[in-house]
Structure 1
Amino acid sequence: MTPPPASSGDGASIDEILDANAEGLLYFERFLPLAGRVPGVDVPQYQDVCARYDEQRGLNLGALGDDADAVGAVSAVLADQLEEQIQLRRVLQLRWHGDAGEAVQTYLSAEQEKASQFLASIEDSHQTMCAAVDVLRDAVTDKAELVGGIDIDLVDGKDVDQIDAILVASGVECLPVDRESVFPRLASAFEDLKDRRAAAMSPTSSLPRWPNAAGAGSTPSSFRGCKVRARRSSEHVEPRTPLSEAVWHWWWTFWAVSTSHRSTNSTTAVGR
């Protein structure tokens, strides 16, 4: 069965497909450097990702389709000629008898068998080349549309600035943390911090209250110690403002989460 001509002229070119979805590469440009700041995480370089994306750039499917059509035309001509030779051999068999006629029939049959095998290989090549045009276009299209469909602005609902603030506040980079600049950025990333910030900045708010075992609120011991030391000291103590209360609240929230995380890791390590 002869396959239809390759669709070399249908659809967009490889370069057009890649260009139409290249905006998705901004995701890797923005977020790979952030992922690389996490210790122990091996991430590819942005240039390598771009190179992989552009691997098929410049591939000319139109030329491949034209070549497939040319091979198909050659295959059709060979098939017609082989069929004509088979018919002539049969006529010769009817008119030429004896040893000489049988020798000629043996020779022609062997040559036509070789021609038949060669024709089969040409037809297989034609079918493969025709299929390759669509397969290659579909593969590039799938890859490009996957990249083009990526949300280039957010990862798990967090933008670049919020993720940067999380990395800075987490201390994984072992860098000094400016709480007054980092924690307001964190508040935009975590809804519970937003609520606590609003509560801390309320005119009627006092020191942050932490839930105790019974479920009632209690002042953290570190804050109680600050109050006691302030009462016992003769030095002047600057009054807390709602903004400073909010900053301290964010800090103690992060400290509690970090302590819980370290305790969990320690328990896991002991269990191992």
Structure 2
Amino acid sequence: MKKIVFAAIAICFAAITGAQNGAHMEYKITSSNGTSGTVKMNYSEYGSLMDFNMVIPQMPGGGMQMKHLTQKSNPDVVYSLNDKDKTYSEQKTKEAASDDSKTYTVKKLGEEKVNGYKCVHAMVTEGKESHEVWNTKDIAEYEKYSESFRSNKKLGSQKREQALKDAGCDGMPVKTVHKGNEREGDMTMELVKYEKKNFSKGDFEIPVGFTKGGSSASPAGMKSAEDIRNMTPEERTKYIEEMKKKYGK
């Protein structure tokens, strides 16, 4: 799941610098283990806003929600919004950066049409893990987005994007499939909506009434998705029971 989250955030960041005309994108997430969700993104010359919602039966509360805001006027800061508590937190992108020491291998599998877009289908391998991607250049502003995407080091994605480009497989993600083990299951993210849209500067500002503090991530004491993913079945069962008792779920 963490890779899907990173992919969604990366797409959102990629759109900021080049999008002079606003647009709205929606991705649908499904998995073989019952997890589902949506990623909705707005972006324009003023910034970007990503709303990430996941239904995860195994988690306390049944899922997770994240909302991230970036502003072109302040590109070095990512704001995490918590609609429930009306709070926000901020993180400098340099603090989130990490060196990408992985080696990426890309194999072109062919060309296919997915959800109405002409896509190049490729297999991306990083170490012992691999995932399939279907990327398109049918979206008119792709070159603008891809340029900012290649220069985005926040998520350690630059090397991956360069590997895709070198193999002739770069483009805007239309479909991504991550193969997991029996415990994780397979997860798919698909572009289901893309439309031009006009936004005002106010659409990319911290909502009135929000105060600084807290975060949009998980309830207090909840471990990260990566920590949960790396647990043994016994550890995960014990952790879920503890969280159920704590939050009364």
Instruction: Please identify which structure carries the higher strand content.
Output: 2
How high is the TM-score relative to the length of structure 2? 0.16
Instruction: Please identify which structure carries the higher helix content.
Output: 1
How high is the TM-score relative to the length of structure 1? 0.15
